[in-house]
Amino acid sequence: MEHPNLTKVLLIDDENPIAETIMAYAKKENMEITHVVNGEEGIEQFEHNTFDIILVDWMLPGISGIDIIKHIRAKNNTPILMLSARNDETDIVLGLEMGADDYITKPFGPRELIARIHSLLRRTNKPSTAQINVSKDIAIGDLKISFQKKEVTKNGEPIELTATEFRILEELCINEGKVVSREELMQKALGYNDFLNDRTLDTHIKNLRKKIEENPRKPEYIKTVRESGFKFVTSNDDEITG
């Protein structure tokens, strides 16, 4: 029997003890977890079912976690939380660049993981301040942003943003012309604020620039304000450097 109020989670992880602990805690949180142990089964489940969030281990037999994320992102923007024992910053950045919305390193406590899941679901499903307050679409040159449709186009071509990337863009746009501090942007767009997520924010900003800017090294829209934060602008500002 279907339970429409359950949060449907796809867990792709070959470490059964970890998976069993996660499932035990998730059940108490009104979550229904489908657990598979390799990439092939994970992709099959993704292709034939609908999930609210997907948890993907980096190192899997067969198809890697990174390749699974790339496959998912080619299809849709289902929130993805990457699980990995690899805690090097380069690995974290790579996971986020491939399309993961968040990254948690093993070993982790089940309560921390559940909190991350709730945070990711809140920021991808709840209307943000931008959605509530921005009633008009934004059109700047060849860049168009629709908040209602959650769509971005450049030169008439759709740009695929992850849910987290779009939420960051929303928060910047609602404050167009104003500086949004790193702390505020992390709290509103990522749902929490610590050193790791400071790096996470930088990676999401970098990915956004790659997708919407003509030259990501000299951004026109998403500017960095030294020692302050970020700013969405519609014209050149000599005091701002990217």
Residues 121 and 19 in one domain: yes
Residues 136 and 120 in one domain: no
Summarize pLDDT for 123-146 with one digit per residue, the tens.
776 544 444 445 567 888 889 998
Indicate whether 36 belongs to any domain: yes
Last residue of a domain, one of 104, 125, 146: 125
Q: Which range (20-29, 49-58, 82-91) has the least confidence?
A: 82-91
Res 97: pLDDT: 86
pLDDT band at 49 (very low <50, low <70, confident <90, very high): very high
Res 3: pLDDT: 54
Indicate whether 106 belongs to any domain: yes
DSSP state, 177? T
Indicate whether 49 belongs to any domain: yes
Number of continuous H segments (helices) and E segments (strands) in the chain = 9, 12
pTM for this model (two decimals): 0.69
- CB neighbours of 1 closer than 8 A, spacing ≥ 6? none
CA distances from 83 to 19, 20, 66, 114, 215 (A): 11, 15, 11, 12, 32
Residues 134 and 26 in one domain: no
Asked whether residue 239 carries a pLDDT value surpassing 60, the answer given is no
Give Dmax (Cα) for the chain: 60
Kindly state the tokens that stand for 187: 């709290």
* Rounded average pLDDT over 67-81: 92
The four Cα atoms 203, 38, 40, 204 give a dihedral, to 10 degrees, of -10
Residue-number span of the structural domain to which 151 is assigned: 129-232
Domain CATH for 177: 1.10.10.10
Q: What's the domain count of the chain?
A: 2
Residues 49 and 144 in one domain: no
Residues 109 and 17 in one domain: yes
Indicate whether 2 belongs to any domain: no
First to last CA, the chain: 52
Indicate whether 241 belongs to any domain: no
| 157: helix, strand or coil | strand
Residues 22 and 120 in one domain: yes
Residues 18 and 101 in one domain: yes
Residues 94 and 22 in one domain: yes
* Rounded average pLDDT over 185-196: 69
Indicate whether 240 belongs to any domain: no
Indicate whether 86 belongs to any domain: yes
Domain CATH for 86: 3.40.50.2300
Residues 111 and 173 in one domain: no
Last residue of a domain, one of 100, 125, 150: 125
Residues 117 and 27 in one domain: yes
Spatial separation of the C-alpha atoms in residues 164 and 201, rounded to whole Å = 10
Residues 56 and 138 in one domain: no
Asked whether residue 12 carries a pLDDT value surpassing 80, the answer given is yes
Residues 175 and 67 in one domain: no
Place of tokens 């908040």: 147
Indicate whether 82 belongs to any domain: yes
Last residue of a domain, one of 125, 143, 160: 125
Spatial separation of the C-alpha atoms in residues 123 and 52, rounded to whole Å = 12
